[in-house]
Amino acid sequence: MTPPTADAAPPPIPAPIQAPIPERQGLRHARELERHLAFLDTFTGTALGVLAAASGIYTYLGVRSLLDDTGAWTTFAALSYSIAVSVGIFVFWSYLLRLLPAVRTAASRVGLLLSMALGCVAIIAMSSWLNAAALAGAAAVEQHLATTVQTYQGALERAHSNAIAGQSLGRDVARVRQSFGDLSEQEAGGNLSGLAGQGAVFRVLTQKAAELGALEAQIAAQDGPVAAAFAEGNTILSRMRALTVEPGAVEARSVRFSEEAVRLSGIIAELRQLNVAPLVARAAQDLADSVVLPDLDGGSALARSSQASTIDSVLQLLRQRAETLNGAAAEVIALPAPDEIVYTPVSAADAVIRYAGNFIPSWAGAIAIDLLPAVLVFIVMVTQSAIRTGRGEGTAEDTMTVADLRAAIAAARALQEPVYLPGETPGPAPHPGPQA
C-alpha cells in the first residue's frame, strides 16, 4: 500500500444531523422514564420478595388448619409447602416483570398474557384459598355453626308443629266419641230402635264410644311429653347458639357443638314419634272394620228386626265418622316432615369455600396479596411502550452519548492510520484530524 502524501487532507467529518424538535422531546422523555425504571428496579425485587413471603406465611397457617397431626413432620411439610409457594410466586412474577414488557410482537405478548392468566389460576389454587382460610377460617367455621343452628331450629319447630297438629286430632276424636255417647243415651231411652234399655244397639254404641274415649285419653297423654321435648330442644338450641359466639378456639367449640347436635337430633326424632296422626288413622280404620256385633235380644221378631236395622244405621254412621277421622289424620300426616339433619364438622378451609359469599373482603385480600404484582407488570408494559414511542425510529446518532462520540472519533482516526507492508518505509505523518 502506498502511504499518503503529506499534502493529503483527511476526509471531512460529516456534521451531525439534528433531529426535529418533537423527536428530541420524545427522546428526552424516554430517557427520563428509563431513569425512573432504573430507580424502581432497585427495590422491585425486594418488594416481590416481601409479598411472596407474606403469602407464604398465610399459606402455612392455612395448611396447618388442614392437618390434624401436630408432629414435627407435619410442621416440616407445611413449612416446605409454604416456602415452595413463596418461591414460585417470586419467580413467576420476576419472569413476567422482565419478559412481558420487553416483547414487541403481538403474538409474543398474547402468549405471555395467556401464561400469566394460567399462572394466576395456579396461584389462586395453591395459595389464595389457603390465605383466605388463615384470614377468615375461624369466622367461617362460626358461620357454619350458626347456619346449622338455624337449620336445626327449623327442623325442631316443624316437628313440634306437626306434633301439635296431631294433638289437635283429639278434639275430632272427642266430638265423634261424644256423638256415640249421645246416641247410646238416646237408645237407652228407646228413641233409636224403639226398645228402651241397654240392648244390642246400646252395647254397640257404648263399645265404640269406649274405644274412642281410650284413643282420646291416649292423645291427651301426649301433651306433656310433646311440651317437655320441645322445651328441652329449645334449651339445647340456646346452648348451641352460645357455642357459636363463645370465645376460645373454634375447634374445641365444634366438638361440644357436635355433642349438642346429636342430642337435638334425638329430640326431633322423639317429636316425630309423639305425633299421634298415624295412630288416629289406624284407629279410624279399625273403628269401622272391627265391630263386635252382639246377639239381638229383642223379645219378638219385630223387635229384633228393628234392632238389626238400627245396628246397620249405626255401622253406616261408624263408616262416615271413620272416614272423617281418617281424612283429618291424613291432612296431618301430609304436612311437610322435618328435614333429616346430620351435623358435619368442617375445616376452616372448607368453611371459607362453602361460605365464600359472606367473606368477600377476606377473599379479596387473600387474592390481592398474590396477584398484586400483575398490576406492576402492566405498569412496566405501559412505561416500556411509552419509552419505545418516545425513541421512535431514530438512528444510532440520536442516542449517542459524549463517551460514544469520543469512541467513534478514536475509531475513525485508527482507520485513517496507514498500514505498511513488510519492507515498506513509513512516509510523513498524516495531517492530524480535529480534536475531540
Each residue's pLDDT expressed in tens, for the chain with a length of 436 residues: 445 544 445 555 555 545 455 556 667 777 888 888 888 888 888 999 999 999 889 888 888 877 766 778 878 888 898 999 999 999 999 999 988 888 888 888 899 999 999 999 999 888 888 888 888 888 888 888 989 999 999 999 999 999 998 888 888 888 877 776 766 666 565 555 545 555 566 676 777 778 778 888 888 888 889 999 999 999 999 999 998 888 878 888 888 898 999 999 999 999 998 888 888 888 877 776 655 445 454 545 665 565 566 666 666 767 777 788 888 888 888 888 887 888 888 888 788 888 888 888 888 888 888 898 999 999 988 888 888 877 765 555 555 667 777 887 888 887 776 655 565 555 555 555 555 4
The span from the CA of 12 to the CA of 63, in Å, is: 75
- Please indicate, yes or no, whether the overall pTM of this predicted structure exceeds 0.75: no
Predicted local confidence at residue 425, as pLDDT: 59
Dihedral (Cα; 333, 334, 336, 339), 10-degree rounding: 60
Q: What pLDDT shows up at residue 436?
A: 42
* Residue in the structure block whose three cell numbers are 233409636: 192
Report CA Rg, the chain.
49
Rounded Cα gap, residues 325 and 94, in angstroms: 80
pLDDT of residue 92: 93
Residue with cell 368477600: 360
Crossing angle for the helix pair 106-123 and 360-371, nearest 10 degrees? Answer: 130
* Pairwise CA distance, residues 3 & 20, whole Å: 42
